[in-house]
Amino acid sequence: MNLIKTTLAVALASVCASTQAAHFIFPTGNLSLIGGYTYAEATTEAFGTVSADGLVDILSGAPTLLGFGALSEQATDGSALITYDWVREVTLDAQTDPSSVGFSIGGTSVIGFDGIAGLQGVVETSKVELQTTLMIMPDGETQGSAIRARLSGSADSIFSTSLPGLEQSTTFNLIASSGGKSVSYTGNGAAEAFDLSLDTVVGAEITLSLSYITRPGWVGAAIDIPAGTVQGFEESGLMAGTLMLAPVPEPETYALLLAGLGLIGAAARRRRG
């Protein structure tokens, strides 16, 4: 029994000693790309073709990155009304907890038509993106020692429309790369979680890329929308998660744990016998 206790104690001590994790910093001279745009266009008999567009502004500085854009516009002739509202945002926080970087990207769009004669089509296209590089710095680990970057989170979007034939078109993208290796996630707006792991080393850089793209649209036979009956579409989407660092246990640690578990099993069998 003493051998079992000793083996497990050594293995657990090795695991606990390796729970110390490194942290992220932005390397000197790092140039992060943050940006995006939104463009909407509608064609009607009353207004002809009307459009509105805007850009996502950079409102950040390391170690917290932020891109934000918003717009609220309308076109009216006193009775017919077209409204367009949107918000887009992308963030990356490497300050609150440098060993667990939080990120999010998404937005909301609402387009409405009220008292419109001869609506022939509506389309929106938008993209928000963030690309940056993070360096892994040691917290007691040896430079060049193995470490694992884990990206976990979820993506989801909500879409509703009262216009016939108009369909959702949403894409989320996430790519992380380091030392010639990469992992990625692509979603189409359906609610789902992701959990990715990328093995690298302390002192290496990780390049992270996020994007949120929407392209809902419809063109067809002209339809009339009565006054007082607002029709259009609304779409909201969000991808959010964390980039965390965890040590990669050495093979010897697994061997010690397996040995200890094996001894426990053998001892249990002898007692039953």
199-248 pLDDT per residue, tens: 999 999 999 999 999 999 999 999 999 999 999 999 999 999 999 998 88
Q: What is the mean pLDDT of the chain?
A: 87
Which pLDDT value is given to residue 262?
A: 57
Mean pLDDT of the 58-84 span: 90
CA dihedral 114, 55, 190, 173 (to 10 degrees): 160
Which pLDDT value is given to residue 261?
A: 54
Which pLDDT value is given to residue 79?
A: 87
- 46-50, 53-57, 104-108, 182-186: least confidently modelled range: 46-50
- 64-68, 94-98, 132-136, 159-163: least confidently modelled range: 94-98
**Between 210 and 1, residue with greater pLDDT:** 210
Q: Give the CB-side neighbour count of residue 90, counting CA atoms within 13 A.
A: 28
Q: Rounded CA gap, 188 and 126, in Å?
A: 15
Backbone angles phi, psi at 110, to 5 degrees: -135, 125
Q: Taking the CA atoms of the chain, what radius of gyration do you get in angstroms?
A: 26
The answer to whether 245 and 136 have CB atoms below 8 angstroms apart is yes
Q: What are the residues whose beta carbons fall under 8 Å from the beta carbon of 180, sequence distance 6 or more?
A: none
Q: Rounded CA gap, 125 and 131, in Å?
A: 20
Q: Which residues of 195-222 are buried (b: 16+ CB within 10 A; e: fewer)?
A: ebebebbbbeebebbbbbbbebbbeeee
- Please state the domain extents for the chain: 1-18+254-273, 21-248
Q: Is the pLDDT of residue 107 over 60?
A: yes
Q: Rounded CA gap, 80 and 113, in Å?
A: 8
Q: Look at residues 21, 241, 11, 13 and name the one whose alpha carbon lies nearest to residue 148.
A: 21
The answer to whether 76 and 154 have CB atoms below 8 angstroms apart is no
pTM of the model: 0.83
